[in-house]
């Protein structure tokens, strides 16, 4: 079959795509998540052909795409209250809502189920094509079954050229992973597949939201899975991928010891690696990881990668969607090179990091106080001391040969450039000392080692951590705490707080956020440690 290439920005091409779809043909279309293999959702023969073209098992239902709210009503028995709230908050956008279907939707489209999955994409061309077709469009991801979903036009061509009537070129997809799928059919809304709308965002709108166990874990053989798509082999490139659950430094050591492997790492980490690196997104930005992931999987195939070691995405926010896809691409293989848990603990001044740190110590964790490490004058010696004197003046050494920390601080914190100079000189020695402290704790048998560091990120110490926890609190509470604790003026308190990073800065860079506005209970601490997997709930260690 000849496949026509159409262009998303051309109105005439949109009409052609609409005509093909109206006539019962198949067109691959761009959406904001991934490309979809679209056909008339109300025609059983068309749905049957979609399954054939994709090579997809016919019990795995298709998503029905609409362009406006009034197109929803004919497809469903009724619109539950929760669906109304979700549609108002997230449509058009990367969210698919499962509801009870009406008789209009053929069972061929829903894989034999009595429910239908509906989504209103935000991509303007996708909506224009649905409008031009005049019918709702069934559109699974436009890849052959089992292969990574296509987030770029070229990937669609690789899989579908010659198998469909047309492919619409819309460039790269903004989100890059498929939509979040949520069912509102049961008593409590339940996420069946994480995606561009995060579980946290859904909870903010609906309150209670469950996450199906199949999102994180391999469904047991023959288990009944709520979302049939979850049970199939998915997103698999030809390479054998293994996720490495470790700090960046431990990851780099492990990968460098396997010179024949390829590193699926984050941008900016390549410098530490002596093997070929395929980066996807930035460590602190799950959206960028989602955007790059499938293209990176395609690249692995293109370069003929055989053994791939991947960095571990965070399981919160959109990171959960990235983890969900990657763990499937890795056939659930996770490797732990070092069985210690280095947990970075950070947060804003006055948020109460020290109380959390004391709690963790009481729970049996080894705690390294990074402030104490950096305050130790013995740390700054030799070349480091020479460099400090060169940058900040010989007189920063007191006559007794020790460092005049106050004078150094005055000069180094006078302006941003000086601060940067100080950091460039001192951070490497601080990191070395922290590495040594971690090794000491590990040698003494500690399983969970907490790096209590107000400037964890600024010092680059997050590269030593397998997990990161931020302690945050409301601004007014933090202000009151530092006023009382440090005996400073309200102006000074404001100045210090103004120099702090925002809540979002910490949240994006953390695996876990503890809100210490009213306090953190031991139960919350245990829950966190259990969520990391470093200790079972109620387990004294
Ligand atoms: O972002 C997306 O959702 C993309 C674009 C093209 O819109 N589409 C997509 O479709 O990813 P597909 O077919 O590859 O994945 C649909 C997922 C499958 O895991 C399927 O099992 C689930 O949604 N699903 C669809 N209808 C369902 C239903 N009635 N009940 C439970 N799960 C359903
Ligand atoms: Mg798919």
pLDDT(227) > 90: no
Does residue 139's CB lie within 6 angstroms of at least one atom of ligand 1?
yes
Cβ-count burial of 475 within 10 angstroms (0-12 exposed, 13-18 middle, 19+ buried)? Answer: middle
Same domain, 168 and 35: yes
Does residue 179's CB lie within 6 angstroms of at least one atom of ligand 1?
yes
What whole-number distance in Å separates Cα of residue 398 and Cα of residue 183?
A: 68
For 476-508, give one letter per residue: b (16+ CB within 10 A) or e. Answer: eebbebbeeeeeeeeeebeebeeebbebeebbb
Same domain, 327 and 381: no
DSSP state of 458: T
What whole-number distance in Å separates Cα of residue 98 and Cα of residue 63?
A: 9
* pLDDT tens digits for range 349-361: 899 999 999 999 9
What pLDDT score does 536 carry? 57
Same domain, 379 and 507: yes
φ, ψ of residue 307 in degrees (nearest 5): -115, 120
pLDDT(1) > 70: yes
What pLDDT score does 341 carry? 95
Give the tokens for residue 366. Answer: 């080894």
Same domain, 104 and 250: no
Does residue 34's CB lie within 6 angstroms of at least one atom of ligand 1?
yes
Same domain, 408 and 488: yes
Q: At 300, which CATH number?
A: 3.40.50.11030
Probe residue for ligand 1, chosen from 181, 183, 186, 197 as the CB with the greatest number of ligand atoms within 8 Å: 181
What whole-number distance in Å separates Cα of residue 243 and Cα of residue 327?
A: 7
What pLDDT score does 70 carry? 97
* pLDDT tens digits for range 89-124: 999 999 999 999 999 999 999 999 999 999 999 999
Probe residue for ligand 1, chosen from 96, 98, 120, 186 as the CB with the greatest number of ligand atoms within 8 Å: 96
Domain assignment present for residue 222? The answer is no
Q: At 461, which CATH number?
A: 3.40.50.300
63 C-alpha to ligand 1 centroid (Å) = 5
Same domain, 61 and 205: yes
Domain assignment present for residue 219? The answer is no
pLDDT(147) > 50: yes
pLDDT(486) > 90: no
Same domain, 393 and 324: no
What whole-number distance in Å separates Cα of residue 79 and Cα of residue 99?
A: 7
What pLDDT score does 177 carry? 97
Same domain, 41 and 129: yes
Domain assignment present for residue 538? The answer is no
Number of CB atoms found within 10 A of residue 164's CB = 24
* pLDDT tens digits for range 196-218: 999 999 999 999 999 999 998 88
Does residue 36's CB lie within 6 angstroms of at least one atom of ligand 1?
yes
pLDDT(290) > 90: yes
What pLDDT score does 229 carry? 67
Residues pairing with 7 in the sheet: 169
**For 366, what's the count of Cα atoms within 13 Å in the CB-facing half-sphere?**
18
What percent of the chain is predicted at pLDDT more than 90? 82
In this prediction the pTM is: 0.93
What whole-number distance in Å separates Cα of residue 363 and Cα of residue 9?
A: 59
What pLDDT score does 151 carry? 97
Same domain, 358 and 488: yes
What pLDDT score does 409 carry? 87
Does residue 178's CB lie within 6 angstroms of at least one atom of ligand 1?
yes
Does residue 466's CB lie within 6 angstroms of at least one atom of ligand 1?
no
54 C-alpha to ligand 2 centroid (Å) = 9
Which has the higher per-residue pLDDT, 173 or 530? 173
What pLDDT score does 218 carry? 84
**Do the beta carbons of residue 434 and residue 451 sit within 8 Å?**
yes
> How are strands ordered across the β-sheet holding 341-347?
366-369, 448-452, 341-347, 467-472, 512-515
pLDDT(343) > 70: yes
What pLDDT score does 541 carry? 46
* pLDDT tens digits for range 313-324: 999 999 999 999
Q: Where are the beta strands (DSSP E) in 297-339?
A: 307-311, 334-335
244 C-alpha to ligand 1 centroid (Å) = 29
Same domain, 325 and 361: no
What pLDDT score does 380 carry? 87
What percent of the chain is predicted at pLDDT more than 70? 97
Does residue 96's CB lie within 6 angstroms of at least one atom of ligand 1?
yes
Domain assignment present for residue 221? The answer is no
Domain assignment present for residue 72? The answer is yes
178 C-alpha to ligand 2 centroid (Å) = 7
Regarding beta strands 63-65 and 115-119, do their DSSP bridges make them parallel or antiparallel, or are they unpaired?
Answer: parallel
Mean pLDDT of 523-533: 90
pLDDT(163) > 80: yes
The domain total for the chain is 3
Same domain, 441 and 347: yes
What whole-number distance in Å separates Cα of residue 164 and Cα of residue 25?
A: 8
Which are the contacts of 73, defined by CB distance < 8 A and separation ≥ 6? 79
Domain assignment present for residue 217? The answer is no
Domain assignment present for residue 225? The answer is no
Specify the range with the lowest mean pLDDT, choosing from 118-127, 264-273, 482-491.
482-491
400 — pLDDT class (breaks 50, 70, 90) = confident
* Three-state secondary structure of 52-77: HHHCCCCCCCCEEECCCHHHCHHHEC
Same domain, 300 and 360: no
Does residue 31's CB lie within 6 angstroms of at least one atom of ligand 1?
yes
**Do the beta carbons of residue 522 and residue 463 sit within 8 Å?**
no
232 — pLDDT class (breaks 50, 70, 90) = low
For 274-307, give one letter per residue: b (16+ CB within 10 A) or e. Answer: ebebbbbbbbbbbbbbbbbbbbbbbbbeeeebee
* pLDDT tens digits for range 33-84: 999 999 999 999 999 999 999 998 888 999 999 999 999 999 999 999 999 9
Domain span at 505? 341-531
What pLDDT score does 414 carry? 86
Q: At 153, which CATH number?
A: 3.90.870.10
Probe residue for ligand 1, chosen from 117, 195, 219 as the CB with the greatest number of ligand atoms within 8 Å: 117
Domain end point (choices 212, 229, 264)? 212
Domain end point (choices 284, 317, 335)? 335
Domain assignment present for residue 49? The answer is yes
* pLDDT tens digits for range 418-434: 989 999 999 999 999 99
Three-point CA angle 80, 84, 87, nearest 5°: 130
What pLDDT score does 534 carry? 81
Ligand in closest contact with the CA of 144 = 2
Which are the contacts of 245, defined by CB distance < 8 A and separation ≥ 6? 312, 334, 335, 336, 466
What whole-number distance in Å separates Cα of residue 457 and Cα of residue 534?
A: 22
């Amino acid at each position: 079959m000849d496949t026509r290439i159409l262009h998303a920005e051309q109105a005439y091409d949109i009409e052609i795509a609409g005509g093909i779809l109206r006539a019962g043909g198949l067109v691959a279309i761009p959406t904001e998540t991934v490309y979809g293999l679209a056909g008339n959702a109300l025609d059983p023969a068309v749905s049957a052909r979609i399954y054939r073209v994709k090579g997809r098992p016919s019990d795995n239902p298709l998503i029905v795409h609409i362009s406006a709210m009034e197109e929803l009503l004919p497809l469903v028995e009724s619109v539950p209250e929760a669906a109304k709230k979700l549609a108002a908050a997230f449509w058009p956008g990367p969210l698919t809502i499962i509801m009870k279907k009406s008789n209009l939707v053929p069972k061929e489209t829903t894989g034999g189920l009595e429910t239908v999955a509906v989504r209103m994409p935000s991509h303007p061309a996708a909506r224009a094509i649905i409008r031009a077709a005049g019918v709702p469009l069934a559109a699974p991801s436009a890849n052959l079954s089992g292969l990574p979903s296509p987030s770029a036009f070229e990937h669609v061509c690789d899989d579908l050229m010659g198998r469909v009537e047309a492919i619409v070129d819309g460039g790269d997809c903004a989100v890059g992973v498929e939509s979040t799928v949520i069912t509102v059919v049961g008593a409590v809304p339940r996420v069946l597949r994480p995606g561009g709308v995060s579980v946290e965002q859904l909870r903010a709108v609906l309150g209670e939201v469950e996450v199906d166990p199949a999102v994180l874990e391999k469904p047991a053989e023959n288990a009944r899975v709520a979302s049939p798509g979850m049970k199939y082999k998915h997103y698999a490139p030809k390479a054998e991928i293994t996720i490495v659950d470790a700090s960046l430094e431990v990851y780099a050591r492990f990968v460098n010891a396997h010179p024949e492997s390829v590193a699926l790492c984050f941008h900016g980490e390549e410098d530490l690696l002596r093997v070929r690196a395929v980066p996807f997104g930035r460590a602190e930005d799950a959206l960028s990881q989602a955007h790059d992931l499938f293209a990176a999987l395609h690249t692995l195939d293109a370069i003929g990668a055989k053994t791939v070691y991947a960095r571990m995405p965070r399981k919160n926010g959109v990171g959960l969607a990235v983890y969900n896809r990657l763990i499937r691409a890795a056939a659930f293989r996770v490797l732990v090179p070092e069985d210690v848990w280095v947990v970075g603990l950070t947060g804003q001044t006055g948020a109460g990091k020290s109380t959390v740190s004391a709690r963790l110590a009481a729970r049996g964790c080894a705690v390294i106080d990074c402030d104490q490490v950096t305050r130790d004058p013995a740390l700054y010696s030799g070349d480091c001391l020479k460099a400090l004197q060169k940058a900040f003046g010989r007189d920063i050494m007191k006559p007794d040969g020790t460092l005049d920390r106050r004078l150094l601080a005055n000069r180094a914190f006078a302006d941003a450039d000086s601060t940067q100079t100080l950091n460039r000189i001192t951070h490497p020695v601080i990191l070395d000392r922290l590495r040594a402290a971690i090794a000491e704790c590990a040698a003494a048998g500690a399983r969970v080692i907490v790096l209590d560091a107000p400037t964890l990120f600024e010092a680059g110490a997050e590269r030593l951590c397998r997990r990161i926890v931020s302690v945050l609190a409301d601004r007014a509470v933090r202000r009151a705490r530092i006023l009382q604790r440090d005996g400073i003026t309200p102006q000074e308190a404001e100045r210090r707080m103004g120099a702090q990073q925002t809540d979002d800065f910490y949240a994006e860079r953390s695996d876990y956020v503890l809100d210490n506005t009213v306090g953190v209970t031991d139960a919350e601490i245990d829950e966190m440690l259990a969520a990391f997997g470093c200790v079972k709930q109620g387990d004294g260690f």
